[in-house]
Amino acid sequence: MLNLTWLIPVFPFLSFVLIVLFTNPNKKLSSGIAIGSVAVSWVLSWGVFFQSIAGHIGMGEEAFRLHVPWLPTGTEWFPMGVNVDPLSAIMLFMVPFVCLMIFIYSVGYMHGDPRYSRFFAYISLFACGMLGLVVADNLLMLFIFWEIMGLCSYLLIGFWFEKPSAMKAGLKAFLTTRVGDAFMLAGMLLLYSQTGELTFAHIFAPETLEKLTHTQVNLGFLGSLPWASLLAMLIFGGAVGKSAQFPLHVWLPDAMEGPTPVSALIHAATMVSAGVYLVARCFPLFTAVEAGPQLGLVAFIGAFTALFASTIAVAQDDIKRVLAYSTISQLGYMIAALGIGAYVAAVFHLITHAFFKALLFLGSGSVIHGSGTQDMMEMGGLRKHMPITFATFLVGTFALAGVPPFAGFWSKDEILADAFHQFTELGVASWPFFVWLFLTLAAFLTAFYMGRQIFLTFYGESRRPHAHAHESPKSMTYPLIVLAVFAALLGFAGVPEEFPVLGHLLGGNPFHHFVGHEFPATPLNGLVMLISVVMALGGLFVAWLVYGRNPLKEGQPDPLIQALGPVYTVLRRKYYFDELYQATFIRLALWLSEIAFAFDNKWVVDPLVNLAGKAGVALSNLGGWFDRTFVDGAVNGVAEVVGWMGGALRQTQTGRVQNYLLAAALAVFVLLVISVVV
């Protein structure tokens, strides 16, 4: 099965091609092909996953690799191929399965949309991109699939392009991630120029890392850094963009303009986690330099984003926006974990988050589908009308908030435990402490805003009594149920070994063994666990206090507005980041483009071209005049001369014999004279 790894991205790609070229008119066939292709990829992926567990596939040199020489570069060939190691295997476990659930869900959600087939074509291409990214064995291939996903994200966010807000949101997403991608590309290019390699197995070889650590690059007034640090930070730029971390987080909330399956697939489970995957994949590069700035940067951005985004989520009314900021926040958890070296914890949280976030988004989609609105202030009492959605949404909420024994608790706790353990060794003035503090506070806020969401949406009386709410069709609820099962139970794969009873019962943290056996296991810390449980339950309790005890009635404003006052406005307006960017970068970019346009259109390029055109016309006029006067004159002149001569000579053809004889006599005379004289 491992030999067929390369086929995994191929099937969704074929589905894309088939739908675009052939089956676009046939809606059922299109979605059938898409679902079928992802199902095949899923089967192959799980085959690869289980085989790699059984075969003890390792990281780096022990990974399974298949590659072909692809691009001639100088004297060698640049290879492209697939790489299966524990990280990609675990991603292969999660990605195609979640994709499949969402594809099935989309059949119901997108029913009746006029561009139904095109939707499935786009998400198939996206699936190809994500799967290709996961199995890529070099940075170039990863980047190619990274960009394919970026393209699909743009296409899918702006899927309903009749809405100007959707169009703008798609463009915003694409351009913002582009900024990150520029850094990443710079990092890739510099890496290639330094090492001549982009293949993971080679760039993470100890010799290469040695060389990169000990050679310095001079950045002028910024001082000098080891190459490894600089490259890590540049590549991290790509992750910041793609995973919507501060300061490039602004695109993800607006990306909610796209259809909800898109939000679930791209902006919760897969594409945004690609940034985390990238950092995890390049983890050797990040950890090459001890005490370098790169990890500190990563940890800071991650932790800051986690807290920052969760504060904004508290003041949002749109059900999907809350989840969007939640995603940003949770990605911050993962990034922060990587920043403090908690590789296994970060990957674990990546996997569990994918499941329960997808579940939450699909659930919100179901709510939107059933109630007809996205504004939580207009919902209420949906528990009675949409029981399955409510139950699964509740499971997702508990998982996200970190309530044991659901999946999110185990993964979040491992990060916090790792941070705590580190700062107890390093002291309070260290990144791990910062990370632990911020992430714990963020955990409280996470539980609070999720509780708020549950109470506003599902409890109380409906604040739109005239709108009838109904449960969603089976094609939408079945995936919800399946994902809920995973959200509930997946955490047990990563229970720490030292946990009483359950630890050994569940195989002694099989996740850790598989993914990161070379990292030391985090020691179990009861205090941290207790604190995180308190945060989770505490947050939910406060939410109940505010929203659940006296559910809001129709038209009643959010109590937080009064409680927080002007702080609420700042939160609601997302700390005015969009306005800040608009006033600075966007205005600058627009001004530059105006100048470039004027340069092209008014001042230089067009006038030059027009001048060249006019010169050409003038030249051709000159040529024409010359042609008409001289050439034609000559030709006409010749004709006229000939005509005149003809007219003159015609006179000699009198038709009279005596005239001809005279001419003959004259000729005789002339010949006689010539023969005499000469």
Partner 1 sequence: MVPLSWYLIVAAALFCIGLYGVLARRNAIGILMAVELMLNAVNINLLAFWRYLTPAHMTGQVFALVVLAVAAAEAAVGLALIVAIYRTRDTVNVEEVDLMKL
Partner 2 sequence: MAQAIFIILSLFTLGCALVVVTNRNLFHSALYLAFVFIGVAGLYFMLQAEFFAGIQVLIYVGAILTLIIFAIMLSRDLMNPNVRGFNRQWWAAAIVAGLLFLALAVVLVRAPWPAAPTGEPSPAFIAELGQALVSPAYVLPFEVVSILLLAALVGSILIARER
CB of 639 to partner 2, least distance (A): 31
The nearer residue to partner 1, 649 or 657, going by C-beta atoms, is: 657
Residue of the chain from 72, 651, 655, 674 that contacts partner 1 (CB under 8 A): 655
Please provide residue 460's backbone torsions phi and psi, each rounded to the nearest 5 degrees.
Answer: 75, -165
Task: Name the residue type at position 638.
Answer: V
- 658 touches partner 2 by CB under 8 A: yes
Look at the chain and count its residues: 678
CB of 677 to partner 1, least distance (A): 19
- Assign 3-class secondary structure to 105-136: HHHHHCCCCCCHHHHHHHHHHHHHHHHHHHHE
- 68 touches partner 2 by CB under 8 A: no
Residue of the chain from 489, 590, 612, 662 that contacts partner 1 (CB under 8 A): 662
The one segment of 197-205, 269-277, 633-641, 656-664 that binds partner 2 by CB under 8 A: 656-664
Reported as half-sphere exposure (CB side, CA atoms, 13 A), residue 436 has a value of 26
- Give the residue ranges of DSSP H helices in 544-677: 559-564, 566-572, 577-581, 587-598, 605-626, 632-650, 657-677
- 656 touches partner 1 by CB under 8 A: yes
- 656 touches partner 2 by CB under 8 A: yes
> What is the Cα–Cα distance from 105 to 124, expressed in whole angstroms?
14
- 670 touches partner 1 by CB under 8 A: no
Cα–Cα separations (whole angstroms), residue 580 to 320, 388, 588: 23, 42, 12
The nearer residue to partner 2, 621 or 659, going by C-beta atoms, is: 659
CB of 645 to partner 2, least distance (A): 21
The number of residues that bind partner 1 (CB under 8 A) is: 9
The one segment of 76-84, 96-104, 225-233, 670-678 that binds partner 2 by CB under 8 A: 670-678
Q: Nearest to residue 85, comparing CAs of 126, 49, 120?
A: 49
CB of 669 to partner 2, least distance (A): 5
With beta carbons less than 8 A apart as the criterion, state whether 127 and 99 touch. yes
CB of 667 to partner 2, least distance (A): 10
The number of residues that bind partner 2 (CB under 8 A) is: 11
Contact set for partner 1, span 471-490 (CB under 8 A): none
Using CB distances below 5 to 8 A depending on partner kind, what does residue 527 bind out of partner 2, partner 1, none? none
CB of 636 to partner 2, least distance (A): 35
Please provide residue 11's backbone torsions phi and psi, each rounded to the nearest 5 degrees.
Answer: -65, -45
Residue of the chain from 649, 658, 674, 677 that contacts partner 1 (CB under 8 A): 658
The nearer residue to partner 1, 634 or 672, going by C-beta atoms, is: 672
> What is the Cα–Cα distance from 223 to 548, expressed in whole angstroms?
55
Using CB distances below 5 to 8 A depending on partner kind, what does residue 638 bind out of partner 1, partner 2, none? none
CB of 648 to partner 2, least distance (A): 17
What mask of x and - would describe binding to partner 1 in positions 3 to 42, judged by CB under 8 A?
----------------------------------------
- 675 touches partner 1 by CB under 8 A: no
Using CB distances below 5 to 8 A depending on partner kind, what does residue 669 bind out of partner 1, partner 2, none? partner 2
Using CB distances below 5 to 8 A depending on partner kind, what does residue 636 bind out of partner 2, partner 1, none? none
Q: Which helix (H) or strand (E) holds 72?
A: strand 64-73
The DSSP output letter for 375 is B
Residues paired with 64 in a beta bridge: 84
CB of 663 to partner 1, least distance (A): 10
Residue of the chain from 588, 635, 661, 670 that contacts partner 1 (CB under 8 A): 661
Q: How many CB atoms lie within 10 A of CB 372?
A: 14
The nearer residue to partner 1, 54 or 657, going by C-beta atoms, is: 657
- 665 touches partner 1 by CB under 8 A: yes
Using CB distances below 5 to 8 A depending on partner kind, what does residue 672 bind out of partner 2, partner 1, none? partner 2
> What is the Cα–Cα distance from 145 to 158, expressed in whole angstroms?
20
> What is the Cα–Cα distance from 309 to 456, expressed in whole angstroms?
20
Residue with tokens 């995890």: 280
Q: Return the structure tokens found at 165.
A: 């807000």
Residue with tokens 């930070």: 233
220-234 per-residue burial string, b: 16 or more CB within 10 A, e: under 16: eeeeebbbbbbbbbb
Contact set for partner 1, span 84-143 (CB under 8 A): none
Q: Return the structure tokens found at 540.
A: 């939910």
- 466 touches partner 1 by CB under 8 A: no
The nearer residue to partner 1, 611 or 663, going by C-beta atoms, is: 663
With beta carbons less than 8 A apart as the criterion, state whether 539 and 445 touch. yes
The one segment of 67-75, 249-257, 272-280, 658-666 that binds partner 1 by CB under 8 A: 658-666
CA 139, 142, 147, 148 torsion-angle sign? positive
Using CB distances below 5 to 8 A depending on partner kind, what does residue 657 bind out of partner 2, partner 1, none? partner 1
- 622 touches partner 2 by CB under 8 A: no
Using CB distances below 5 to 8 A depending on partner kind, what does residue 652 bind out of partner 1, partner 2, none? none
Using CB distances below 5 to 8 A depending on partner kind, what does residue 583 bind out of partner 1, partner 2, none? none
CB of 658 to partner 2, least distance (A): 6
> What is the Cα–Cα distance from 274 to 87, expressed in whole angstroms?
12
CB of 665 to partner 2, least distance (A): 5
> What is the Cα–Cα distance from 623 to 616, expressed in whole angstroms?
10
The one segment of 121-129, 148-156, 347-355, 652-660 that binds partner 1 by CB under 8 A: 652-660
Q: Return the structure tokens found at 277.
A: 């995957």
> What is the Cα–Cα distance from 222 to 131, expressed in whole angstroms?
39
CB of 675 to partner 1, least distance (A): 16
The nearer residue to partner 1, 652 or 658, going by C-beta atoms, is: 658
> What is the Cα–Cα distance from 619 to 378, expressed in whole angstroms?
73
Residue of the chain from 590, 617, 635, 672 that contacts partner 2 (CB under 8 A): 672
With beta carbons less than 8 A apart as the criterion, state whether 99 and 42 touch. yes
Q: Which helix (H) or strand (E) holds 81?
A: strand 76-84
Using CB distances below 5 to 8 A depending on partner kind, what does residue 193 bind out of partner 2, partner 1, none? none
Task: Name the residue type at position 199.
Answer: T
> What is the Cα–Cα distance from 25 to 119, expressed in whole angstroms?
12
- Interface residues with partner 1 (CB under 8 A) are 653-658, 661-662, 665
- Interface residues with partner 2 (CB under 8 A) are 656, 658-659, 662, 665-666, 668-669, 672-673, 676
